[in-house]
Every structure is written in C-alpha cells, then in structure tokens.
Structure 1
Amino acid sequence: MKSWCALASLLLAYFCHGTLSCPPLCKCYHRRAEVVCNEVPLTEYPSEGLSMNTTLMTIQFTNITSISEQQLKATPLLQGLHLYSNHLQSLSAHLLRGVPHLNTLDLTGNKLSVLPADVFLHAPLRNLVLKNNVIEKADAEWLPDNSSITWLDMSGNSLTKIPTALLQKLPHLETLDLANNHLEQISMSSLDPLTKLERLNLRNNKLDTLEVSVLQSSRNLTYLFLSQNNLNKLPQNLFQELTQLRLLSLDENQLSHIPAGLLDPLSSLEEEGLDLTSNPWVCDGKVKYLWRWLQKNKKKVFLPETIICARPQSLVGRSLMSLTESELNLQA
C-alpha cells in the first residue's frame, strides 16, 4: 500500500511540475522530447506548459507574429527549432541567449524584414535557414565572430548584396544559398573566407558577370548554381581553381560565347553535370572552343543537343552539336 501511494505521489509531482504537460494546440512526444504545434489559432509562442527537457520544437502554419528571448528560456535544452510558414514579423535581440544548445534554427516562410543586431548570438548554430522572408539587408552583427554555422540559407529574400563582413564570420560554412534574391554582383574578395565552401547557389539573381578572382579560394566547391541570371560574359580563368566541381549550371543566362579554356579545369564534372541550355549562343567562329569541347565531353553535358544557335540567321534553331566545321568556318 505504501509503495502504491509513493508511486502515485511521484506521478502527481511530475504532472504538477509540468514534466509531462503539453501546451494547448500542440502535440508532445515525451519519449523523444519533441513538441509539434501546427494549429492556425495559435497566436503566441507556446512557452507555458512546455517540458524543460524538450530538445526539438516544430511550429508551423500558425498566426504567431513574434518570438522573444524570454519565451525560448522555457526550453533550455532545445537543439532544433523549426518555425515554418508562420506570420513572424519580429525577433527579439539576443533571441538565443536562453537556448545555449541550439544547433538548428529554421525560419522559412515568414514575414521577417529587419532583424536586430546580436539576434543569433549565444547559441552554437550549425544550420540557419532564413528562406522565403522579405529581408532586404544582411547584417554582420547578427552573428558572433568565428560562427560555427555550416549551412546558411537566405534564398527567396530581397537582398541586393551580401556583406563581406558577414561572410568573414563564417569560416566553417559548407553551404551558402542565396538563390532568388536581387544580387547584382559578388564583391571580388567576399568569398575568400569561405575556404570550406562546397555548395554555392546564386540561381535567379541579377548577376551579369563575375570577377575573375571571386572563386579563387573556393577550391572545395563541388556544386555551383548560376542559372537564371543575366550573365553575358565570363572571365577566362573564372573556374581555374574549381578542380573538385561536380555540377555547374549556367542555363537561362545571356551567354553568346565563352572564352577559350574556361571549362578546361572542370575535370571532375559528373555525367550531365554541366547545363548550358537556354542561352543565346552565336554560332560563328568565336564558338570554336565550345564546339570542340562539347565534341570531347558530350557525356558531361546536360541535354547537349538542346544547346541551340540564336544567331546567325542561317543557323537559328540549329543544335550547336549538329553543326559541321565548314558551317562554323572552323577549317583553319
């Protein structure tokens, strides 16, 4: 009898201290220390009723508009915080001070525009996702020096530039995603600190060229996405250091020619790893290098037969691969 009473008292104590409680409109999985909240009526971060042992939180498709440092302190052991598709408009300064173990923060699909300085300090973040918000300016003061971040995703915002000072704080970065912004240029030395960078996504921006030295420190780069820009010329030695590159997308740009030797360093391209489609190629004598490179490296090119001549008029619509030396005046 005494043992039964002791067990009942212990269980009551657990419930009274909130160890097995769960906030309204949320589901709690105590064995794996996970909380999931995906109810539209939720308008405030559910800090009341959370177990202090929670290590993973997912809050999605709610009407929450802000999150404060004080609210996150309810879960001091938190390691992953996923806040997809809410209505977040603001984050408090020093947001992560109460979650010193947080390594993943995903804020995809909110309405964030301006973030306070020091917002991502105080936690050993490795993955930071700010995808599909309305951020116009990235700030170096968001992050600590020598940040541990390896994955930074700022795609789908309204960035016109990426500060060199911010990238200097990311020596461990392996993936940088800046797709679907309004970037017009990448500063000459801005990528130099990213010596561990393996994946760079610049798709769907407004780049018209790249400085010859912009990728000189990116020797570990294996995936480079440059499609859907306004690239109309590329420096001859742009890819000189990219001997590890496996995939390169240059489709949907404004390339009419490429300089001789541009693709020669790319010995590690995988099968169909190079996309040159949907460019206005001019099939004249200046296309000699590309034509001969394609003949030797056809397997490395995605749909090589769809690399189409836009000029001259006599060759419009013809596949570059299908042309003969005489049609291109390449006999010499």
Structure 2
Amino acid sequence: MFLLLLFVASCPNPDACLVTQSGNGSSVSCHPPARLLRHFPADTVHLAVEFFNLTQLPANALQGISQLQELHLSSNRLENLSAEFLLPVPQLKVLDLTRNALTQLPPGLFQASAALHTLVLKENRLEALATAWSCGLKALGHLDLSGNRLRTLPPGLLANFTDLRVLDLGNNQLETLPPDFLKGPLQLERLHLEGNRLQALGEGLLAPQPALRSLFLGHNQLSAVAAGAFRGLRQLDMLDLSNNSLSSTPGGLWTPLGRPARDMEDGFDISGNPWICDQKLDGLYAWLLANKDKMFFRNDTRCAGPEALKGQTLLAAAGSP
C-alpha cells in the first residue's frame, strides 16, 4: 500500500515536492524524483501527485486537508479507489484521474462530492458504469470519460447533471446510445462521441440539447442518420462527421444547421465518407454551396460513386466553381 507523502523545503530541491502559498491556501505539486512523505499542509487547496506509478491509495489519504479544491492524480497506475476516499474533501471542485488503470468506480465514491465541477477519468480501463455511479454529484459541469472501454451506457446516465456543459465519451467502444442519453443536462454545449462504433444516429437523440454548440461524431461507423437528427440544434457551430460510412443523407437533415439562418462559426467536416454523388445528395449539395466557407478538408471530401464521378470532390459535384 502506498502513502501520499510530502517534503517541504525552503529552496528548490529535485527530491522535494513544490509547495507554494497564497491567500487562498497552499498548492502542493509532487512529481518524480520528489520523495513522498506523510503530511500535507492543513490549508492545501491544490494537490498534484502525478507520474509516480501508484497502484493504490489508502482510504484516509486525504485526511486533514478538508479545504482541498483540486486533486490531480494523473499518470499513475491506480487500479481502484476506496468508496471513502473523497469523504474528507467535501469542497473538492476538480478531480483529475487521467491515465490510470481504474476498471470501476465504487458505489458511493462521490457521496460527499456535491461541489465537484470537473471530473476527468480519461484513459482508464472502465468497461461499464453502475446505474448509481454518480450519486452525490450535483454541480458537475465537465465530465470526461474518453479513452476507456465503455461498450454501453446505463439508462439515466446524466439524469442528475443539470449543469453539465461538456461531455466527452470519445474513443470508447460504444455501438449504441440509450434513448434517454441526453436527458438531464439543461445547457450542454460540447459533446464528444468520436472514435466509437456508432452505426446510426436516431431521431430525437440530440433534441434535449438546443444549446449544443460543438458535436464530434468522427471516426465511428455511421451509415444512417435520421432526417430529424439535428432538428432544434440552432446554436451548433461545429459538426464533425468525418471518417464514417455515410453514402447519403436524408432530405431535411441539414436544414436546421448553418446558413441561411446563421453561420456555423467553427465549421464542419464530412470528409472520409464513401459519398454516392447522385440525386439523393441534392439536399446536401444545396447546403454545401451555402456553407462551403466553413467546410474543412474540401479536397478529402470526395465521391465514392457512381463511377463517372468517383474521386470528384463533393463541392464540384454540387456545382461549385
């Protein structure tokens, strides 16, 4: 069992953790080759213990630093956490567990984490989330679960996250999404679903999020997108549908987005799809001509058929000079 430790020195020392003080409290940063000792300043508000290859932490590791607001434990090898681990730090606002080896989150882990705003669990080994995994989280604004091994999501995943603004589920193994996937947040602005195995985007899935500004769906296996999939997304400024299996899109799909109503300020990417450039793309052609100034990778957005148009850019097929 490993203990979190601290060594405070009056001058720079490669074997010491760096401790800085401000009016808000102490910030402690520990990286190899710093030595780890037992105690943290009682007024610690920011703590980083990273790159130590720790495999586990004692349940009372955070005892005595009740004012802690940020905890960074990235790039270790943590395999599990005690359900009591966060109990001593009810003021915690940021928890970063990037690049560890967590396979599950114990029930009750966040029971005292009502103040937590940012939770980063990217690049772990999570394969599933228990239905009640988020019990206690009431103020979450940023949730990053990218780079795990999630195959499915539990019903009501976001039900309690009314303040969520950013959700990152990119680079998992998701094939489908539950119908109530986005019910809960009231002002979601950024949604990452890239790098999964999604095959279809259904009607109404995104409808609960009219404030959505950025949607990332690249590098999936999408071959079908419902005609009303983007209905109501009047604020969307960025859309990535690149590197999927789309050969056509239904009529009306693009109408809610971009011009003539408004610019997509951050652009869109539909490259790397096997587009069949026939009359079924008429709706997309018209939309492309109106919004081409916001199009990324124009030269990589090409027709896969019919044979006479194979290799031609979509813009050329649409009649753009």
Two-structure CA RMSD over aligned residues (Å): 2.1
Find the counterpart in structure 2 of residue 34 from structure 1.
27
Tell me the distance in 2 between the aligned counterparts of 1:187 and 1:47: 46
User: What is the identity, as a one-letter code, of the residue corresponding to 2:275?
Assistant: W
Tell me the distance in 2 between the aligned counterparts of 1:215 and 1:303: 25
Q: Does 1:257 align with 2:248?
A: yes
Tell me by how many angstroms 1:244 deviates.
Answer: 0.6
Deviation larger for 249-258 or 182-191: 182-191
Tell me the distance in 2 between the aligned counterparts of 1:320 and 1:287: 10
Contact 1:164 1:191 in 2 (8 A): no
What TM-score comes out, normalization by structure 1 length? 0.86
Tell me by how many angstroms 1:175 deviates.
Answer: 0.6
Task: Indicate which of 289, 295, 298 corresponds to 1:301.
Answer: 295
Contact 1:232 1:255 in 2 (8 A): yes
Contact 1:40 1:63 in 2 (8 A): no
Tell me the distance in 1 between the aligned counterparts of 2:277 and 2:293: 21
Tell me the distance in 1 between the aligned counterparts of 2:302 and 2:61: 57
Task: Indicate which of 227, 231, 235 corresponds to 1:240.
Answer: 231
Tell me the distance in 2 between the aligned counterparts of 1:190 and 1:20: 46
Tell me by how many angstroms 1:306 deviates.
Answer: 3.1
Tell me the distance in 2 between the aligned counterparts of 1:324 and 1:151: 39
Tell me by how many angstroms 1:197 deviates.
Answer: 0.8
Offset from partner CA, 1:178-199 (integer Å, 9 cap, x none): 0000001111122121221111
Contact 1:130 1:153 in 2 (8 A): yes
User: Which runs of 5 or more residues in structure 2 are unaligned?
Assistant: 1-5, 10-14
Find the counterpart in structure 1 of residue 3 from structure 2.
none
Tell me the distance in 1 between the aligned counterparts of 2:318 and 2:162: 49
Alpha-carbon distance change, 89 to 40 in structure 1, aligned in 2, over 3 angstroms: farther
Tell me by how many angstroms 1:319 deviates.
Answer: 0.9
User: What is the identity, as a one-letter code, of the residue corresponding to 2:285?
Assistant: W
Tell me by how many angstroms 1:271 deviates.
Answer: 4.4
Tell me the distance in 1 between the aligned counterparts of 2:204 and 2:297: 30
Tell me the distance in 2 between the aligned counterparts of 1:273 and 1:303: 11
Q: Does 1:173 align with 2:164?
A: yes
Alpha-carbon distance change, 58 to 272 in structure 1, aligned in 2, over 3 angstroms: closer
Tell me the distance in 1 between the aligned counterparts of 2:318 and 2:294: 21
Contact 1:140 1:169 in 2 (8 A): no
User: What is the identity, as a one-letter code, of the residue corresponding to 2:43?
Assistant: N
Offset from partner CA, 1:81-105 (integer Å, 9 cap, x none): 0111011111001221100110100
SS in 2 for 1:215: coil
Contact 1:47 1:72 in 2 (8 A): no
SS in 1 for 2:315: helix
Contact 2:237 2:266 in 1 (8 A): no
Contact 1:40 1:61 in 2 (8 A): no
Alpha-carbon distance change, 263 to 201 in structure 1, aligned in 2, over 3 angstroms: same
Contact 1:199 1:222 in 2 (8 A): yes
Q: Does 1:222 align with 2:213?
A: yes
Tell me by how many angstroms 1:47 deviates.
Answer: 6.8
Offset from partner CA, 1:93-130 (integer Å, 9 cap, x none): 12211001101000000111122101122021100000
User: What is the identity, as a one-letter code, of the residue corresponding to 2:201?
Assistant: L
SS in 1 for 2:225: coil
Contact 1:234 1:258 in 2 (8 A): yes
Task: Indicate which of 134, 139, 159 corresponds to 1:143.
Answer: 134
User: Which runs of 5 or more residues in structure 1 are unaligned?
Assistant: 1-18, 326-332
Find the counterpart in structure 1 of residue 180 from structure 2.
189
Tell me by how many angstroms 1:292 deviates.
Answer: 1.9
Tell me the distance in 2 between the aligned counterparts of 1:276 and 1:209: 15
Q: Does 1:208 align with 2:199?
A: yes
Contact 1:54 1:78 in 2 (8 A): yes
Offset from partner CA, 1:138-162 (integer Å, 9 cap, x none): 1243322562111000000000112
Tell me the distance in 2 between the aligned counterparts of 1:272 and 1:103: 29
Percent identity between the two aligned chains: 36
Q: Does 1:85 align with 2:75?
A: yes
Deviation larger for 29-38 or 51-60: 29-38
User: What is the identity, as a one-letter code, of the residue corresponding to 1:170?
Assistant: F
Find the counterpart in structure 1 of residue 59 from structure 2.
69
Contact 1:94 1:122 in 2 (8 A): no
Larger Rg: 1
Contact 2:168 2:193 in 1 (8 A): yes
Tell me the distance in 2 between the aligned counterparts of 1:143 and 1:127: 13
User: What is the identity, as a one-letter code, of the residue corresponding to 1:217?
Assistant: P
Name the structure with the higher helix share. Answer: 1
Find the counterpart in structure 1 of residue 257 from structure 2.
266
Contact 1:132 1:157 in 2 (8 A): yes
